[in-house]
Structures are given as C-alpha cells and as structure tokens.
A and B are shown apart, each in its own frame.
Chain A
Amino acid sequence: EAGVVQSPRYKIIEKKQPVAFWCNPISGHNTLYWYRQNLGQGPELLIRYENEEAVDDSQLPKDRFSAERLKGVDSTLKIQPAELGDSAVYLCASRWTGGVQETQYFGPGTRLLVL
C-alpha cells in the first residue's frame, strides 16, 4: 500500500501564475482533507470532503483557491493566481469513517515556493 499519494512533490512558480496539486487517497477512504502548513506552523485545514461533497470549506480562500474531488476519489487543489504568501507545504490526508478508530493518514505533501 503506497499510502496517500501527492504530486508534484515540489513546485516553484512566479507570482500570479496558476498552480495545481493532486492527491490520491488510500483506497476506500471516503474522507479527504487538504491542509496548508506554513513554515514553523502546524497544518491548518483548508477543505474537507466526504466522498465527492465538500462539507467544510470555511477556511478555503475562495477568491483564489478552488478544489474538486470528482467521483469521490482523487482530488485537485488549485491556486489562481498564486501570491507570495501562498508559499507553504500543502498536505493531503484521508480517513475511513467507518472504523472504531478513525485515523487520518497524511501524504508527503507538496512544497510550493512562489517567487
């Protein structure tokens, strides 16, 4: 089992350019999370999906960020246009909401640098 897969692992772009991140959760996990982790901080939730429905996007900056999870499996997070302050690690996590202990499993993250 590869665990949660994310790509790309690293991305360097100039400000005002668009960027997209992709996440493939663990097979069978119905809940998917996107987090942003700024330098020296803990992860902060951006959006949570239950299957294909975004059930909590209150922390997602909707003027420039968008996300989708077609068919309730893979997910894409997009930023357009990127700003300098978007430089961070973007983490994807997944969870199966059916067990006694519902653990979130994290991907390796995408490190974004906006110049």
Chain B
Amino acid sequence: AQRVTQPEKLLSVFKGAPVELKCNYSYSGSPELFWYVQYSRQRLQLLLRHISRESIKGFTADLNKGETSFHLKKPFAQEEDSAMYYCALKRGSQGNLIFGKGTKLSVKP
C-alpha cells in the first residue's frame, strides 16, 4: 500500500539549532516526493520537490530510496519557520498526492 509516514507530531527546537523533519514512504513505483508547508492562518503551499534538488528558505530534502526516506533539513532554524509541514507522495502520472499526517515545527527564541 502507498503510504507516507511522519513519525513526529511535534518538533520543538531553539532558534539557530539544526532541524530535521522525518518522512518515510511506501511506494512500489518510482516515487516523486514533496514537502508542503502551512504557516499560521495561511493556506497549504509547496515548499520543495525532490526532483528539483533545490534549497528553499534554507531547507533541503534528499530522497533516499534505500531507506525510503525524504527527510527535510535546515542547519539553522528561524522563528519564522514555525509551521505545519506535510510530506507528500505523488501517485502515478496523474498527480494525486498522498499526504502524511504532518509535523508541527515550533522554533523557540
């Protein structure tokens, strides 16, 4: 079965500390993975996708097919990074997304 697992409901770090939000997936085909973010009182929006291999707002994520993981990382967390983060798996070529349950990141001053 296709599934996305985010094991942490809440992750709390201090400003300037490194942060890693975990995401594991289960998919039989060639996966395409995304991180979406929802800031307080804002709509869900795309943060980054693995095929772009880009860094957005200092965040990076590497697809590890051996470990079936797509963890989101940032070396120095900022208070404005506080938000809900959702990992998502694109199923097939039609674009349907399967989301994880999300991790709430809280960056304390």
The tally of residues in B whose CB lies under 8 Å from a CB in A reads: 19
> How many Å from the CB of B50 to the closest CB on chain A?
12
- Contacts A43-B44, A101-B49: A48 and B101 contacting too (C-beta < 8 A)? no
B101's contact among A3, A41, A107, by CB below 8 Å, is which?
A41
Q: How far is the CB of B39 from chain A (nearest CB, A)?
A: 12
Looking at the complex, which of B14-22, B56-64, B72-80, B90-98 is the stretch in contact with chain A? B90-98
Closest CB-CB distance, A65 to chain B, in whole Å? 17
**Using a Cβ–Cβ cut-off of 8 Å, how many residues does chain A contribute to the interface with B?**
25
B69 to chain A, nearest CB (A): 17
Q: When the two chains form the complex, which single residue of A43, A102, A107 contacts B99, counting CB atoms closer than 8 Å?
A: A43
- Inter-chain CA distance A107–B49, complex, in Å, is 20
Q: Write the residues of chain B forming the contact surface with A, with a CB cutoff of 8 angstroms.
A: 4, 9, 43-46, 49, 52, 86, 88, 94-102
10 pairs of A and B residues whose beta carbons are closest in the complex: A42-B99, A106-B44, A108-B43, A106-B43, A43-B99, A42-B86, A103-B46, A42-B101, A42-B100, A41-B101
